[in-house]
Structure 1
Amino acid sequence: MTEKKIKEKTQEKSQEGITVKKEENFSEWFTQIIEKAELVDLRLDVKGFTIIRPWAALTIENMFEHLEKELQKKGHKPTFMPSIIPKENLMKESEHVQGFTPEVFWIKNTGDNKELALRPTSETLYTPMFKLWIRSHRDLPLKLYQRGSVFRMDTKATRPLIRGREFIWIECHDAFATREEAEAQVQEDIDTTEKVMHQIYGVPFLPMKRPEWDKFAGAEYTVGSDCFMPDGKLIQQPSTHLMGQKFSKAFDATFKNKEEKEEHLWTTAYGPAVSRILASVIATHGDDSGMILPYSISPIQVIIIPIFNAENKNKIIKKAKEISDKLEKENIKVEIDEREYKRPGEKYHIWELKGVPFRIEIGEKEIKNNEVILFTRDIKKKEKIKLTELKNIQKLGKEFDNRLRKKADKFMENRLVSCFNKKEIKEALSSGKLAKINFCSTDKSGIKCAEIVEKELYGDVRGTLANKNEKPTGNCVICNKPATKVVYIGRSY
């Protein structure tokens, strides 16, 4: 469903729950989730620009926290760069110019006759700074990142969180003395995606080295993280790029090596778009009742629902606060829903829709028995537990996330299929799967076969696995020439 249609539906917001099944109509399911869980608002009425509401914003903040912790652990330092790029900077690298100029938002009336662009990406901001900050091999490696927004004038249909003209991300820009170090950084970026997006957010991916015709503008090569959506389409998540020396040569960014000779820097870039990754989190883990947020990133990990009447309200609320205080001391994110104008059943529905991992219900009977009712969102299990057992919530949270990740892994594994002719490829794509095939080449000589895949099979050559060296065993499935690569074909957003 396009952004325009979503906006029209938002005008007549419904209080009812999710009315479609995720497996039967994922597009409508996703639309209802982001509306009814109050994640975004489109009524600013500017194409491709989305207002992110508190529940989504808090989730994104938690996602940032995990990413930044991992990046800093691996030696990255934070920076904040301007949101604008001088035109002369953007024009320095020829491939970059050709790739991004059609997508640039140009700023008019800057006051000093200087042409400025809203940054679509920041290679042309960081590289000139590398030139100033790096003098010697002793200054290397230099690994920097920033969190913020980038802007691209996408002319295609936009979709909140999935495809927009502004997205919120982290971008890393790193400089090295040698190609070997730069390529090691590309592999480290894949490892960061594994440790954070997969292990923490529970979203599995395939690191795909893109074919020559699909690499980032200005890069030597690109590795994109392909994730499955429930409809079988792929969405690209974090991508990492070996920039080589293209940008350092364009900006004459050099350093003195150990022999005191001038060399150009080797650079890389890595870009996890956190707002877009949230779309994968929602799509991967949610069910027909709403979102299911991993315990590790949920803004509220435990919601307490006190069940009271006018006579026992103070007593029940007091006990709920005692439980809340104990959980907070265990560094658990907890909140009490004390709203009197909502019935308990309504509260259950709301917090299930928002995907909170655990719900505690407590009333007169539970206080008397020194227990609570614990509801676990992913398995929809209700059980009575003693108050002393609440100390196990953190452990249960880890088990919660493990279940989500294993379920997502199984879903992805079932989507991979080897194909040996065009008919099998078409059948695989039509059933929402990813076709693994022998292919002639991923350099420019393979473009003709890629065009056949696109026009006849309605698919895309996603690339080769970047973390595994797979050897072809026969001829190209498309042209029957000797195969040099094993590639994966899918349909994407």
Structure 2
Amino acid sequence: MELIREARPHSRRKLGENLMEWFHWLLREAEIYDIRYPVKGAFVWRPYGMKIRRNVEAVIRELHDSTGHQEVLFPVFIPYEFFSKESQHIRGFESEVFWVSKGGESGERLLLRPTSETAMMPMFKLWIQDHRDLPLAVYQIVSVFRAETKMTNPMIRVREISMFKEAHTAHADREDAERQVRLAVDVYKRIFDRMCVPYLISQRPEWDKFAGAVYTIAFDTILPDGRTLQIGTVHYLGTNFSKVFEVTYLKPDGGHDYVHTTSYGISERSIAAMLIVHGDDAGTTIPPALAPVQVVIIPIIYGEERKAVMEAALSIAERLKAAGIRAAVDEREDKTPGWKFYYWELKGVPLRVEIGRRDLEQRSVVIARRDTLEKYSAGFEELEDAVKKLLAEVEENLRRSAWDRLMSSVVKADGLEAARKALGEGKIVEVPWSGDNSCGLKMVELLRADALGTPLDAPADVGGADLRDLACLDKRASYWLRLSERY
């Protein structure tokens, strides 16, 4: 395999100027998702988008199944009497609930699930009898509904979250539940690593934790416009839900105790992040492991050579498929090769194989990378190995480039002006914080930013430095607090 054209730099202009406008354009033109459904915040997955989604869901299922979770499917309806039992939970979600206002002649008060803690706890009470039934770990991939009043954006802020993976677990004690929290964090790291999406892991501040949780851990990534997107959360719920639903178990000593529970969720936001993080003015690049089409073969045909070139293209596709590679031939006769290049670059196909009469004579093909636009010449005899090598290189480059962009966007600031300047430049800023909630909320107000929380993927404490809380200068800082503008 020989390099015949160097990489060309990609412009990221459109992404920075109006990211959501670019994202709408991508979803429409790449035939991923249709935003024209006539209900605010409800959208349609198109066939190509569903293929991407199913590949992501396969990774989610694989990693949950391999760590002892079992898949379930709960009804979409939750009785009001269940939902209203946990006081913090209902205060946190009641304004977002869709109510079923009428159902035949039934007078039941039902709601469409915004999340399933209050649906699962009554069933956990039936399923858990003694310590031998613990730990219990289940998950489902379903729709959840939230009456979003802010501006909606496809996949990112929606009323029907149609790819919501929620896991719920029950444990004998806090120690085992927090072991599950660490496992959940590791599972999410592995999912996002497969998607080549970089992330920061932070413990959300008290005022921004999940309603009903003891604490919340969140994954955030940065988008090209400098704003962050929450792509996953993990919650330790303690006994807050098990007490109100009376979910207990018989201990080995004959006594009873409440189970400790956790929950954790990710959604199609992760797919939005993947498409945007790897985007450019021409479209996106889908990581090879998740791409519906990993290699598209474009026949370059002029005149009488059509039969021989097309036969060669179809033969190449069959060879690649036999090698476990998802390959397709663009056989359309009414489109030029240049139009096809643009079309498949837009859709994010990692590699393009070009073959024409001259290539047939030389028994070689041209392979173009979507991520760098480099072109290579590869002989027929080395084709499968060359394609596999380049697919691996594309994946590694996507992952490395995305992580480099994220890490270069995180800065520390020990003064308000420095923090304001960094936020204005689209950075994630870490500032000294005492840990006091009132000081943290004041910091958010002073900097007009959102708090991501204290770092869990880097030292959270300020060490031996004599730093002061930026919002409360009379208090010594004990932690770093991450701040950004957030979607």
TM-score of the superposed pair, with normalisation by structure 1: 0.92
Aligned to 1:175, which of 155, 167, 170?
170
SS at match of 2:241: helix
Partner-residue secondary structure (3-state), 1:345: helix
Question: In the alignment, what sits opposite 1:470?
Answer: 460
The answer to whether structure 1 residue 237 and structure 2 residue 231 are counterparts is yes
Amino acid at match of 1:301: Q
**2:185 counterpart of 1:194:** no
| Cα separation, 2, equivalents of 1:67 and 1:395 | 25
8 Å CA contact 2:12–2:280 kept in 1: the answer is no
From 245, 249, 253, the counterpart of 2:243 = 249
Deviation of 1:92 after TM superposition, in Å, equals: 1.2
Q: Distance in 2 between matches of 1:412 and 1:282?
A: 15
Look up the match of 1:429. 423
Note the alpha carbon deviations across 1:209-243, whole angstroms, 9 max, x for none: 01110000011110110110111111101100001
- Structure 1 distance, partners of 2:100, 2:13, is 43
| Counterpart position of 1:446 | 437
Contact kept, 8 Å, 1:234 with 1:491, in 2: the verdict is: yes
- Give me the CA root mean square deviation: 1.5
Q: Which residue of 2 aligns with 1:262?
A: 256
Mapping of residues 156-167 of structure 1, within 5 Å: 156-167=150-161
Residue 88 (structure 2) pairs with residue 98 (structure 1) = no
Residue matched to 1:385: 378
Asked if structure 2 preserves the Cα contact closer than 8 Å seen for 1:428 and 1:435, the reply is: yes
The aligned counterpart of 2:445 is: 455
Partner Cα separation in structure 2 for residue 369 and residue 135 of structure 1 = 72
Q: Which residue of 2 aligns with 1:29?
A: 22
Tell me what 1:304 maps to.
Answer: 297
Name the structure 1 match of 2:67.
74
Match of 1:345 among 321, 338, 363: 338
Identity percentage over the alignment? Answer: 37
Tell me by how many angstroms 1:395 deviates.
3.0
Contact 2:222 2:406 survives alignment (8 Å): yes
Unaligned runs of at least 5 residues, structure 2: 1-10
Count of residues paired in the alignment: 470
By relative contact order (CA 8 Å, sep 6+), the higher-ranking structure is 2
Partner in structure 2 of residue 13 of structure 1: none
For the residue of structure 1 that corresponds to 2:92, the secondary structure is helix
2:123 corresponds to: 129
Where does residue 327 of structure 2 map in the other structure? 334
Quote how far apart the aligned CAs of 1:148 are. 1.1
User: 2:414 is paired with a residue of what secondary structure?
Assistant: coil
Deviation of 1:484 (Å): 2.9
Superimposed CA distance per residue, residues 63-117 of structure 1 (whole angstroms, 9 cap, x where no aligned partner): 1111111111111111111111111111111100111111000112223211111
Which stretch shows the higher mean deviation, 215-224 or 302-311?
Answer: 302-311
Ranges in structure 1 where 5+ consecutive residues have no aligned partner: 1-17
Aligned partner of 1:356 in structure 2 is 349
1:140 and 1:468, CA in 2 relative to 1: closer, same or farther beyond 3 A?
A: farther
Q: Does 1:86 align with 2:87?
A: no
1:292 and 2:292 matched: no
Aligned pairs for 1:205-220 (under 5 A) are 205-220=199-214
2:58 maps to 65
Contact 1:461 1:490 in 2 (8 A): yes
- Which residue of structure 2 aligns with residue 5 of structure 1? none
What amino acid is the match of 2:371? D
For residues 263-282 of structure 1, what are the structure 2 equivalents within 5 Å?
Answer: 263-273=257-267, 275-282=268-275
Asked if structure 2 preserves the Cα contact closer than 8 Å seen for 1:20 and 1:28, the reply is no
Number of the residue aligned with 1:228: 222
Q: Tell me if the contact between 1:450 and 1:460 (Cα under 8 Å) persists in the aligned partners.
A: no
Offset, 1:334: 0.9
Q: How far off is 1:276 after superposition?
A: 0.8
Residues 116-138 of structure 1, C-alpha deviations (whole Å, 9 max, x = no match): 11100000111111111111111
CA contact (8 A) 1:421 1:478 kept: no
